[in-house]
C-alpha cells in the first residue's frame, strides 16, 4: 500500500506569492502536481516607514484565499503545508498585524524567515539541481537580494541585503522612461551596498548563478532571441549567457519605456516596470567582479525547503501547519 504524501510550500514574496504542491512517494521520489503564482506586489510603496499598504495587503489576502481553497482539495491526502514569508514581511513594521490578519482570514500560519536562512535555502535549492564548485549565487527578489558564496561546493557566506526590484525601481523612479540621473543614483547606491561585502573580492573571475523573477526574465529574453524556432526554446534552468549579451539586453531595456519593455518577448506586462531596477544588482556584480558568464536557476527557496523537508531537517514547530 502506498504511503504517498503531499507537501504544499507557500512562498510569500515581496512581488508575488506562490504555491507549489509536491507529491512524495514512500521511496523518496517526488513530482510537482500543482503550481500557482499571483502577482501581489506586497512590497509596493512601503517607503522609509516600512509599512505594508492596504491595497497590496488586500491583493495578497485574496491570493491566499485562493490558495487555501486549493489546499482544501487535498484535505484527505495527507497534506503538510509549509508557509514562509520573506523580505517585505520581514521588514514591515506592521508585520504582526499582517500575520494575524492572514491567519484569521485564510487559516495560513506563516513563518517569517531570516534573510540569512533565505539565502542558505537558495543555496540548497541551487546546489541540489545545478551544482556549483566555486562562485556566487544571487537571488534578487522584490525587496531584498540574497548573496551566497560557494567554495568547493559548500556555502561560505550567506547574506541578505534589503534592496530588490520593487524597492529600487520605486525609490529611483525606474518604472517607465529612464532618466539618466535616476539611473546613476541607483547604480551608485547598489555599488555602495555591494562594496560593503568585502568577501565578494574573493569571487572575482569565478561564475555566477542567478535566480529571482527579474534575473530569470533576462534569461527568457535571451533564449527567445537565440531561438531558431518556437519549438526549440531552451529551458531557463541551466541556461548560460555571456556577460556581453546581458549588457546588450540591459541596454535595450534602458532605451525603452515601460510599454515597449512589456512588448519584449520574455518580459511580462506586470514585470515591465521593475525589470530595470531588478537587473541592476546582477549587472553590478558582473561588472565589479569581472565575471564572463551568467548561469540561471529555476530552483531556489521553495526547492531548498523541499529538499530540507525530505531530509527531515525542517523545524516543524516553526514552519508547518497540517490539514
**Nearest residue to 101 via CA among 20, 92, 44:** 92
Is residue 122 in some structural domain? no
- Residue 196: predicted pLDDT: 96
User: Does residue 123 belong to any structural domain of this protein?
Assistant: no
Strands (E), 53-117: 79-85, 111-112
| Residue 126 included in any domain | no
Which residue range forms the structural domain that includes residue 57? 5-114+302-322
Q: What are the residues whose beta carbons fall under 8 Å from the beta carbon of 277, sequence distance 6 or more?
A: 165, 166, 167, 168, 169, 170, 172, 174, 186, 214
Residue that has been written with the C-alpha cell 531556489 in this structure: 300
251, burial (CB in 10 Å: exposed 0-12, middle 13-18, buried 19+): exposed
| In the predicted structure, residue 1 carries a pLDDT above the cut 50 | no
Amino acid 2: pLDDT: 58
Residue 44's pLDDT is 94
Which one is predicted more confidently, 83 or 233?
A: 83
Question: Is pLDDT of 315 > 70?
Answer: no
H/E stretch holding 222: helix 213-226
Q: What is the DSSP string of 142-167?
A: SS-EEEEEEETTEEEEEEEES--HHH
pLDDT in tens, 195-213: 999 999 999 999 999 999 9
Q: Which three cell numbers, joined as nine digits, stand for 263?
A: 512588448
pLDDT per residue as tens digits for the range 24-39: 988 889 999 999 999 9
Kindly state whether residues 105 and 159 are assigned to the same domain.
no
C-alpha cell at 128: 541540489
> 13 and 147 in one domain?
no
Claim to verify: residue 137 and residue 258 sit in the same structural domain: yes
Asked if residue 99 and residue 50 are part of one domain, the reply reads: yes
Residue 294 lies in a domain: yes
- CATH number for the domain spanning 16: value is 3.30.420.40
DSSP annotation of 198 reads G
End-to-end CA distance of the chain: 21
Q: What is the mean pLDDT of residues 90-111?
A: 97
Rounded to an integer, what distance in angstroms lies between the CA atom of residue 97 and that of residue 239?
41
pLDDT band of residue 313 (cuts 50, 70, 90) is: low
pLDDT at 131: 86
Q: Has residue 119 been placed in a domain?
A: no
| Residue 124 falls inside a structural domain | no
Read off the pLDDT of each residue in 150-163 and give the average, rounded to a whole number.
Answer: 96
Nearest to 301 by CA among 118, 52, 55: 118
Are residues 280 and 318 both part of a single domain? no
**pLDDT for residue 55 is more than 70:** yes
Predicted confidence at residue 320, as pLDDT, reads 45
Note whether 206 and 277 are same-domain residues.
yes
Q: pLDDT of 217-228, one tens digit each?
A: 999 999 999 988
Q: Within this chain, do residues 174 and 292 fall inside the same structural domain, yes or no?
A: yes
Q: Tell me how many domains the chain contains.
A: 2
Q: Based on the domain organization, do 93 and 188 belong to the same domain? A: no
Do the Cβ atoms of 32 and 20 come closer than 8 Å? yes
- Distance separating alpha carbons of residues 289 and 10, to the nearest angstrom: 34
Q: Which pLDDT value is given to residue 212? A: 95
Stated pTM of the model: 0.92
34: which strand partners?
21
The answer to the question of residue 259 being in a domain is yes
Q: For residue 151, tell me if it sits in a domain.
A: yes
| Same domain, residue pair 182 and 288 | yes
Note whether 153 and 73 are same-domain residues. no
CATH number at residue 181: 3.30.420.150
Distance CA 242, CA 272 (A): 23
pLDDT confidence band for 323 (50 / 70 / 90): very low
For residue 72, what is its C-alpha cell? Answer: 482544501
Give the C-alpha separation, 209 to 125, whole Å: 12
**51 and 195 part of one domain:** no
How much is the pLDDT for 231?
77
Between 27 and 41, whose confidence is greater?
A: 41
**Mean pLDDT estimate for the chain:** 94
Distance (Å, whole) CA 216 – CA 10: 20
**pLDDT at site 317:** 52
Burial group, residue 210, by CB count within 10 angstroms (0-12, 13-18, 19+): buried
Domain shared by 188 and 290, yes or no: yes
User: Taking the mean position of all CA atoms in its chain, how far away is CA 222?
Assistant: 19
Amino acid at each position: 500500500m502506498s504511503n504517498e504524501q503531499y507537501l504544499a510550500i507557500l512562498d510569500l514574496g515581496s512581488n508575488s506569492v506562490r504555491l507549489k504542491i509536491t507529491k512524495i512517494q514512500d521511496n523518496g521520489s517526488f513530482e510537482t502536481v500543482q503550481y500557482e503564482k499571483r502577482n501581489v506586489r506586497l512590497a509596493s510603496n512601503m517607503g522609509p516607514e516600512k509599512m505594508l499598504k492596504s491595497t497590496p495587503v488586500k491583493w495578497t489576502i485574496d491570493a491566499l484565499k485562493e490558495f487555501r481553497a486549493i489546499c482544501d482539495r487535498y484535505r484527505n491526502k495527507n497534506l503538510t503545508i509549509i508557509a514562509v514569508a520573506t523580505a517585505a514581511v520581514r521588514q514591515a513594521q506592521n508585520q504582526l498585524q499582517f500575520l494575524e490578519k492572514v491567519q484569521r482570514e485564510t487559516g495560513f500560519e506563516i513563518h517569517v524567515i531570516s534573510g540569512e536562512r533565505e539565502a542558505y535555502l537558495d543555496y540548497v535549492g541551487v546546489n541540489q539541481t545545478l551544482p556549483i564548485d566555486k562562485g556566487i549565487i544571487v537571488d534578487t527578489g522584490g525587496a531584498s537580494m540574497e548573496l551566497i558564496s560557494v567554495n568547493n561546493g559548500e556555502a561560505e557566506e550567506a547574506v541578505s541585503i534589503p534592496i530588490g526590484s520593487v524597492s529600487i525601481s520605486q525609490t529611483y523612479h525606474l518604472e517607465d522612461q529612464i532618466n539618466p540621473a535616476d539611473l546613476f543614483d541607483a547604480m551608485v547606491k547598489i555599488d555602495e551596498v555591494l562594496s560593503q561585502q568585502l568577501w565578494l573580492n574573493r569571487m572575482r573571475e569565478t561564475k555566477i548563478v542567478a535566480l529571482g523573477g527579474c534575473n530569470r526574465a533576462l534569461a527568457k529574453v535571451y533564449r527567445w532571441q537565440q531561438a531558431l524556432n518556437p519549438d526549440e526554446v531552451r529551458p531557463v534552468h541551466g541556461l548560460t549567457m555571456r556577460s556581453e549579451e546581458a549588457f546588450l539586453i540591459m541596454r535595450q531595456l534602458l532605451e525603452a519605456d515601460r510599454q515597449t519593455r512589456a512588448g519584449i518577448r520574455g518580459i511580462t506586462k506586470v514585470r515591465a516596470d521593475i525589470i530595470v531596477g531588478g537587473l541592476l544588482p546582477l549587472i553590478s556584480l558582473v561588472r565589479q567582479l569581472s565575471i564572463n558568464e551568467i548561469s540561471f536557476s529555476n530552483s531556489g527557496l521553495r526547492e531548498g525547503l523541499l529538499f530540507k523537508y525530505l531530509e527531515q531537517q525542517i523545524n516543524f514547530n516553526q514552519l508547518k501547519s497540517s490539514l
